[in-house]
Structure 1
Amino acid sequence: MARKKRIWMPEYFYHIGSRGNRRDALFREVSDYETFLYILHHVNKASPIELASYCLMTNHFHLLMRSKYLPISKVMSLINKRYADYFNKKYDLTGHVFEKRYFDKPIGDNYGILRISQYIHLNPVEAGIVKNAENYRWSSYRYYLHSKNNRLLTMNTILDSFQGSLVEKREGYRKFVESEELRLEAESVYK
């Protein structure tokens, strides 16, 4: 049976996710998380992407990304292939690292981008790994709250949705992400 062809709309951000084969860990050690981010950085240098948010969990990851120059399928092929090669070599394994093809969903408006970003950033909280999303090391959330620049992130995609100075925009985003009403609605929509 032929796979359904993926549609690429360069003007859209996509919520992308991928899980470890048999739900096994994709990231076993700190160096695995670091390598995945390194791969993202190098793919971005070769074929620029706009990464609005990310979260790397033990057995899966989420990206909120747009690619204007290369189809998302090609970008994800580069990312997942490079990471699978690294993972199999490091752990002396063969075969599939990822459960199946990555999940992707185009996001058509700014509010949708904010909501998916909220969902991504709250993933470690919902999983019970941390109580506060900004304490999770493998997420972009802490950069939104505390960093002026991150070479990998396109933070203005999110922050420009809020009014005021950079400090006020960050606080607006924090309130948005941590809003209980929005969190409950996001859980029902995106799970």
Structure 2
Amino acid sequence: MARSKRIWSPEHFHHVGNRGNWQMNLFREEQDYFVFLKILQRTYELTKMEICSYCLMSNHYHLLIRTPHVPLSKVMSRINKGYTDYFNRKYEVSGHLFEKRFFSKPVYDDYGLLEVSSYIHLNPVEAQMATNLARYRWSSYHYYHSPYLKHPEFFNPFPLAQSFPGDTIHQKKEVYCKWLHKDYKLEHIHGPVLSEK
């Protein structure tokens, strides 16, 4: 049976994800996370893709990615193959690292972007891997929470931040974080931040 053709809308972001084969860990050590992020940076340099939200979990990842110049499938093939080659070489294994083709779904409006980014950024809390999102290192959330923190070139916060008030991109990112926490009712975790008007 032929596989369905992948939807690629160059002007829109896509929610993309993939999971380790047999749900095994994709990231076993801290270095593995760093290597995956380096692969994202190299892919950006070659394809000029952009990501406005991401989260790397132990056995899967989520990206909110736009690929205006190169088909999404080719971009993801580069990312997944690059990481698979690294993983197999490091851990002396072979075969499929990912359980199947990557999941992808285009996001057509600003509200959808916010909803998907909320899901992505809150993933560590849902999985009980973190209670303080700002301290989870493998997510783009900390680039919103600490607005002056230097971020990688592939990361573009503007598509999400533009939906919020503020005179600067930094102010808009701060308001995004407050919206995210109120939406998920995390007052008991982050307390004072949420009470600000």
- Please, what TM-score do these two structures have when normalized by structure 1? 0.91
1:179 and 2:182 correspond: yes
Distance between the aligned counterparts of 2:174 and 2:155, measured in 1? 18
SS at match of 1:18: strand
- Where does structure 1 differ by over 6 angstroms across 4 or more consecutive aligned residues? none
Structure 1 letter corresponding to 2:130: V
- What is the deviation of 1:182? 8.0
- What is the deviation of 1:181? 5.5
Q: Deviations over 1:157-189 (max 9, x none)?
A: 111111113343123201221124589xxxxxx
Count residues with an aligned counterpart.
Answer: 183
Q: Which position in structure 1 is the counterpart of 2:172? A: 169
| RMSD over equivalenced CA pairs, Å | 1.4
Q: Which position in structure 2 is the counterpart of 1:13? A: 13
Distance between the aligned counterparts of 2:11 and 2:86, measured in 1? 31
Q: How does 1:84-99 map to 2 (within 5 A)?
A: 84-99=84-99
Structure 2 letter corresponding to 1:165: D
Structure 1: 5+ residue runs without aligned partners? Answer: 184-191
Distance between the aligned counterparts of 1:126 and 1:165, measured in 2? 32
Percent sequence identity over matched residues?
A: 50
- What is the deviation of 1:49? 0.7
Q: Which position in structure 2 is the counterpart of 1:155? A: 157
Q: Which position in structure 2 is the counterpart of 1:186? A: none
Structure 2: 5+ residue runs without aligned partners? Answer: 187-197
Structure 1 letter corresponding to 2:163: S
**CA pair 182-18 structure 1, distance change in 2 beyond 3 A:** farther
- Please, what TM-score do these two structures have when normalized by structure 2? 0.89
Q: Which position in structure 1 is the counterpart of 2:146? A: 146
Structure 1 letter corresponding to 2:69: Y
Structure 2 letter corresponding to 1:168: Q
